Amino acid sequence: MPLRELRDDDYEALAGVFNTCTTHWPTTAGALCAEYREIAGFDPFIRVSEDAGGRAVGLGHLISPSELGDPRKMNLRVLVHADHRRQGRGGELAAALMAEADRRGWIELNTHYMDEGDVGGSRRLLERWGFREDLRGDMFALELANFDEAEAERALAETPVAGLRVVVLAEETAPDRVERWHDLFTAAYADVPEMADLEPPDLDRFRWRFLGLPGMREDSVWLAEADGRYVGFTQFRYPPGGGDPFIALTVVRREYRRRGLARLLKLQAQAAAKRRGDRRIITGSAMGNEGMQRLNRALGFEPFAAYVFCRRTREAAP
């Protein structure tokens, strides 16, 4: 089964591949095309595994995202359609990526997978290539049917922060609103376990990650403002293929923590989602992130799967 390069007419089939690999994130050909166009800036190495008719049934990519801060630190991903597993495709794609990573002189390789359903293959493949589990988080879902929207208003009245305002980014008119949001992100993102090792994105990169990616919308960013600054935010991302919104991130400035702001922001977002007709909200938080784990459970989120970040460093190589 020789591998080949990615073609523009592969995205339809590849959306099908992605959609057999996770249940909560339906994607589309258009969204994948937009994402792969963007990673063109990260020196990508991409290979496709095809079936007898030439249709893409597997995909592997290796990229050096600027956030990792060193071109020898790379992300890789291997995905095989559920109907085409156990045929050696994942191993073949991984071997091609690893050969390319060797050629590029890698010092760190990162990947992740969703721990739901049949993941024995992913696990074995990653172990074979020397990856170790680096971080594990719960995926949570909240059913909105029983959520009382009045709770969001009560929380706003009760949160002990002087001059507090909760605003939606789309309704902010100040020309520097994204700069101010970026300032908040820069101050607090390093405390997010999944982001702790990343370089802070500059304004352009931030704009792309938090407003440019498919499913990121200005009407789905809730910001808490106090003392003339944004002090916390929560943000939804909507799956390109339709479905439940996913809480992309919730962050509060250190000096404003433990005053109920994250709870308030999430409640405001939940109320807006319910008004929009969303039935469920999905989120994730790292096992060691005690604050967000407790808050999610207190808000009624229930775990349904896990995500696993894996890493291989040069020292760990055989």
Ligand X SMILES: CC(C)(COP(=O)(O)OP(=O)(O)OC[C@H]1O[C@@H](n2cnc3c(N)ncnc32)[C@H](O)[C@@H]1OP(=O)(O)O)[C@@H](O)C(=O)NCCC(=O)NCCS
**Mode of pairing for the β-strands spanning 108-115 and 73-80:** parallel
Question: What is the CB neighbour count within 10 angstroms for residue 258?
Answer: 8
Give 81 or 259: the residue with its C-beta nearer to ligand X: 259
Which CB atom, from 75 or from 289, has the smaller least distance to ligand X?
Answer: 289
Q: Which amino acid is at 101?
A: A
Q: Are 75 and 110 in contact (CB under 8 A)?
A: yes
The CA distance from 306 to 166, in Å, is: 31
Q: How far is the CB of 266 from ligand X (least distance, A)?
A: 8
Smallest gap from residue 241 Cβ to ligand X (A)? 23
Closest CA to 258 of 304, 295, 221: 295
- The residues with which 195 forms a beta bridge, in sequence order, are none
- Smallest distance, ligand X to C-beta of residue 115, A: 17
Q: How far is the CB of 176 from ligand X (least distance, A)?
A: 22
User: Which of 33, 195 has the CB closer to ligand X?
Assistant: 195
In the bound state with ligand X, the residue whose beta carbon lies nearer, of 122 and 268, is 268
Residues interacting with ligand X, by CB under 6 A?
188, 191-192, 249-252, 257-263, 285, 289-292, 294-295, 298
Beginning with the edge strand found earlier in the chain, give each strand of the sheet holding 132-143 in spatial order.
Answer: 45-50, 56-63, 73-80, 108-115, 302-313, 132-143, 280-286, 246-252, 229-237, 216-226, 165-168
Q: Which residue is nearest to ligand X (CB)?
A: 291
Residue closer to ligand X, measured from CB, 31 or 224: 224
CB of residue 165 to ligand X, shortest distance in Å: 15
